[in-house]
Amino acid sequence: MYRRFDAACADAAQSTAQTGKLIAPYRCPDCGMYHIGHASYAEQGQFQKDVKRPCRNCGGRIPTKRIVLGAAFCSPECRTAFRDAKIGKGESLDAPAR
């Protein structure tokens, strides 16, 4: 049990990285605290699609731990490089990668 959602997210990401299966945090309707457990089939399907999604900057593999957290980049350095390149060209950061 976790009192804070971010603590549950961190442990869920670590468990996902160790097992290779999506472990998701959720709020318990009975006790009001956060728990982690296996994700629903819908969440697992999205996770499988995300595992195959390449980094928006370098095209490399995004680590599972970062995918669970919703990252679109393989590292903070790639995110920074992508942002700096887009800003330098005067493009919107929300524009799709080419």
Q: SS3 letters for 37-53?
A: EECCHHHHHHHHHHHCC
Considering the domain architecture, whether residues 28 and 66 belong to the same structural domain is answered as no
Task: Output the six-digit token pair for 12.
Answer: 């869920």
**pLDDT above 80 (res 56):** yes
Considering the domain architecture, whether residues 80 and 96 belong to the same structural domain is answered as yes
**pLDDT above 90 (res 77):** yes
**Segments forming the whole domain that contains residue 33:** 1-52
Lowest-confidence segment of 16-20, 58-62, 73-77 by average pLDDT: 16-20
Task: Select the more confidently predicted residue: 20 or 3.
Answer: 3
User: Highest mean pLDDT: which of 38-42, 68-72, 81-85?
Assistant: 81-85
Considering the domain architecture, whether residues 84 and 44 belong to the same structural domain is answered as no
Considering the domain architecture, whether residues 45 and 64 belong to the same structural domain is answered as no
What domain count does the chain have? 2
Considering the domain architecture, whether residues 24 and 40 belong to the same structural domain is answered as yes
Q: Give me the pLDDT at residue 30, please.
A: 85
pTM of the full structure: 0.46
Considering the domain architecture, whether residues 75 and 47 belong to the same structural domain is answered as no
